[in-house]
Amino acid sequence: SIEGTTGGGFAQTGANWIVSPTENNPPFSATQFATDPNTVVIPGTGANSATWTFNNLPAGTYLVSGTWVKRGDRATNTLFEGFDGAADASSDASVRVSQRHDPSRYNFGPNEWQHLFLLNVTGNTATIRVSDLDANGTIAADAVRLEPVSIQAGNVIDNGLSGEYAAGGYTLNASGDPDTVRVTGTIHGLFGDADRIPSDFVGTAATWTYNGLADGRYLVSATWTPSSENSMNAQYTVNGGGAPTVVDVDQELGPHSFQEEDITWQNLTYVDVTGGTLTVELSNNSAGSGSNNRYIVADAIRISPAPAASFSSTVSGTDVDNGDMLDFGTTRLGERADREITITNNGLSHLQLSNLQIDKGLVNTFDIFEAFELPGTGTFGDASIPPGGSTTLTVRMNADNVGRMSNGEVTFNTNDLNNASYSLDLEGRVSFTGGRIVDDGDAGPPVVFASTNFGAPI
């Protein structure tokens, strides 16, 4: 739903509004209004404001975006506020943005739009207000867009709105004069702005902290505005209470893993949270500054519970469960027997396989020979299996000695919480004939030869 300046939902207060010149990009509305640089008081007092009212809305959460045409005399701290119902003295959401620059988050139709904030609507009316309160330049009023969203899918902490979308917050720890460490509001981010930190300024780090989380596995994702001035190896450190995971990201390029409500995110890693707290730290890269890696950009982090991993395993189409016995049967002396285990990912997240080991077992109760082995490279066909995919594992019973092969075991670890450690017991037999049967055609039981001396009297 979009409201411009020509619909019945738009209203203005204050005596300093004029029709804004549009010498560059055209506005969304037929007429964009702005405060008059010749008459308006700067810094602004809040006397000039414009509102967009949306009626007949279903209750829910809405992503609010705005568009405007930039000018050099615009404020870099224009105030947008959101209200659940009519506008009053206390807003339910707010953000300050720079209208000296074009909106730069996404395109909708012919115009560029900037995400402003999320607004919870409990009734059926929402009001968005732009005002010149404390504005350090003129302000513009063009159009506002509301889009229903579901934020249950992921918890977001933005650099400018810490704590509004998850229990936690955002901090920027600077070494030296903060004005030389970051530039705020001059680049556009998820909800208004993003912190931009010189990549060679040692000791500076941005940290997002999530508290009160249920223990478990989470997918951690990041968003930022790409630029040729950004670092090619920005370093994110993710810690869920165990060993930290370091992920290097090229911020010259934009995020590319998935899009949610017009926001593009890049997946960083999965992390296991123990103790209820998850932190993500973005720090200076180690390559120093340069023409292509001057800044690291701290914008927003998204986390979501990772879908549970689940898998099944089969041998020749027959299910084999964790702890089952894999019986190789009887094999002829000198003929190795291979069994291929097919592992299929039945879950909604990648299945990770690791720590493959084999207990080589006993030959006729002796451990001087190897009853079982992993042939070839002794690894999985693929240790990371996407949802719906499968891989194979080959286990071999050696047939160098006649007798009973026992006490073998193959084990590996997975990220399936129900089968974190998976094992199969191994057994089989080796004989001179491999259990070959010869039938004389007469009624009665078959005759089994245990000798290769064919033709001799029985």
Task: Report the distance separating Cα 63 and Cα 397, nearest Å.
Answer: 61
Q: Give the Cβ contact number of residue 453 at 10 Å.
A: 6
Residue 64: both structure tokens together: 């609010």
β-strand 421-431 against 325-332: which pairing, if any?
Answer: parallel
CATH topology agreement for domains 2-149 and 156-305:
yes
Comparing 303 with 127, the larger pLDDT belongs to 127
Comparing 232 with 84, the larger pLDDT belongs to 84
Check residue 40 and give its pLDDT: 86
Q: For 2-149, give the CATH class.
A: mainly beta
- CA-to-CA separations, 233 to 220, 253, 266, 286, 440, in angstroms, rounded: 18, 11, 14, 8, 76
CA neighbor of 354 nearest in space, from 365, 338, 364, 343: 343
| Residue-by-residue DSSP string for 252-278 | TSPP-SEEETTEEEEEEEEEEE-SS-E
Beta bridge partners of 49: 13, 131
Check residue 178 and give its pLDDT: 31
Q: Which secondary structure element, helix H or strand E, spans residue 123, and what is its range? A: none
pTM tops 0.85, yes or no: no
Sign of the CA dihedral running 84, 88, 92, 96:
positive
Phi, psi angle pair for 417, to nearest 5°: -60, -25
CATH superfamily of 156-305: Galactose-binding domain-like (2.60.120.260)
Exposure of 282 by Cβ count < 10 A (0-12 exposed, 13-18 middle, 19+ buried)?
Answer: buried
Check residue 239 and give its pLDDT: 94
pLDDT tens by residue, 395-404: 999 988 999 9
Confidence of residue 415 (pLDDT cuts 50, 70, 90): confident
CA neighbor of 259 nearest in space, from 63, 3, 102: 63
The letter for the amino acid at 264 is T
Contact criterion met (CB below 8 Å) for 330 and 429: yes
Domain positions in the chain are 2-149, 156-305, 311-437
Comparing 428 with 106, the larger pLDDT belongs to 428
The letter for the amino acid at 102 is D
Contact criterion met (CB below 8 Å) for 185 and 98: yes
Contact criterion met (CB below 8 Å) for 200 and 282: no
Task: Report the distance separating Cα 254 and Cα 399, nearest Å.
Answer: 56
Q: What does the longest C-alpha to C-alpha distance in the chain come to?
A: 122
Confidence of residue 455 (pLDDT cuts 50, 70, 90): very low
- Residue 184 pLDDT exceeds 70: no
Check residue 175 and give its pLDDT: 36
Check residue 17 and give its pLDDT: 86
**154-163, 228-237, 248-257: least confidently modelled range:** 154-163
Q: Which secondary structure element, helix H or strand E, spans residue 342, and what is its range? A: strand 337-345
Check residue 164 and give its pLDDT: 33
Check residue 391 and give its pLDDT: 92
- Residue 413 pLDDT exceeds 70: yes
Mean pLDDT score of the chain, rounded to an integer?
77
Sign of the CA dihedral running 400, 401, 403, 409:
negative
Confidence of residue 80 (pLDDT cuts 50, 70, 90): very high
- Residue 72 pLDDT exceeds 70: yes
- Whether omega for the bond prior to residue 457 falls within 30 degrees of 0, making it cis, is no
- Residue 238 pLDDT exceeds 90: yes
- Residue 27 pLDDT exceeds 80: no
How much of the chain is in helix, strand and coil states, percent to nearest 5?
Answer: 0, 45, 50
CATH superfamily of 311-437: Immunoglobulins (2.60.40.10)
Contact criterion met (CB below 8 Å) for 140 and 69: yes
Which residue do the tokens 């919870």 mark?
120
Confidence of residue 1 (pLDDT cuts 50, 70, 90): low
- The C-alpha angle 200, 201, 205, rounded to 5 degrees, equals 110
